[in-house]
Amino acid sequence: MNPKILLTKCVIALMIMCLSAPVIAADKIKNCSEKEDKTALENANRFITEHLDNFLATSASFLATKYKDKMKKKWPKTTLKCSKRDKYCERRDFQAFQGSSNTIKYCTEVFDLSWAELCTTVGLTVHELGHVANIPIHARHDHADLYAKTISSGKADLVWRLEKEMKSYCWETINTGSSPSVAPVSSGEIGTKCKKNSDCNSKKCQGKGAVRECVCADNDDCDGSARCKKRLGKNYCIAKGTGPGDFCKKNRDCDIGVCQKKSCVCKTDKDCKSFYSNISDIRCVNRVGKNFCQETKQDAGESCHKNSDCTGNLKCKKKACSS
């Protein structure tokens, strides 16, 4: 083969590889003094960059389309920073937290990046990306024991659900060697690309530039368990919430409880006992801002809002049961 032709083919092949490979921006990862920490974040960044779109399409059906779009938009602009001696980390004992609007900080004194498994770091990162995208959280979001560990379904909080589902997605991808796939979508269905209204079964094409897609025009365009939320930017289908923490706009979006500040919350003690069937001692705390479910008969150090939430002779002091 002519050497010039061979060289040209090699150059073209290299260009294709560069275009298809995920790019790690020079300023994407910062402040990591340990090489192992930086490598761990690079690996997490690479996995999320490769899989975020597919994860949201296959494993995040509980999330409204506008938040999926926001996560996709925010991720390339999000900076990952190691934070070894951060006062916020020390005070709150967080593994990671949202810094500035587009920054995720990892508390390396609490969360050892160099030893953490890839899927754990990936799940934690997507959790914080949920905060970056301003996804609604439950009023008791920071009470991890109640809203993450003790609820096997992981349905209590949208951002906690993101972390749990991404970890499962990551493990499945690594263990099987392939990612979950979404059923092919026919042209004209909701979510497919479009240029004009007539391209869509719903006769509604919305968005800007290359991100225009078919959206719902009314409730009949959504699944039976969802309704169409109409807005100027891009309509989307809202699935009915199963209970506390699920995204909502109106009370009718919640199968259990009521809608407050874009999240389904409890209205009565019965709502809490219905959703948290594995917790017998639990009540609904009714607040002006946002209701939430509170476990009762709590031991020393556990959360509370009044003395009756604590077991025995313990008292509720500064929202924690103590003697």
Q: What is the H or E stretch that residue 285 is in? A: strand 282-285
Structural domains of the chain in order of their starting residue, each with its CATH number: 23-176 (3.40.390), 278-323 (no CATH)
Q: What pLDDT score does 104 carry?
A: 94
Q: What pLDDT score does 146 carry?
A: 52
CB atoms within 10 A of CB 168: 16
CB 226 within 8 A of CB 238: yes
| Whether the predicted model's global pTM rises above the 0.75 cut | no
Q: What pLDDT score does 248 carry?
A: 79
Summarize pLDDT for 94-141 with one digit per residue, the tens: 888 888 778 999 998 888 998 999 999 999 999 999 999 988 776 666
- Half-sphere exposure of 1 toward its Cβ, with a 13 Å CA cutoff? 8
Summarize pLDDT for 71-89 with one digit per residue, the tens: 999 999 999 999 876 666 7
Measured at the alpha carbon of residue 160, what is the angle toward residues 237 and 223, in degrees to the nearest 5?
Answer: 20
Summarize pLDDT for 222-246 with one digit per residue, the tens: 866 677 877 777 888 776 666 677 7
Q: Is 8 left (phi over 0), alpha (psi -120 to 50) or beta?
A: alpha
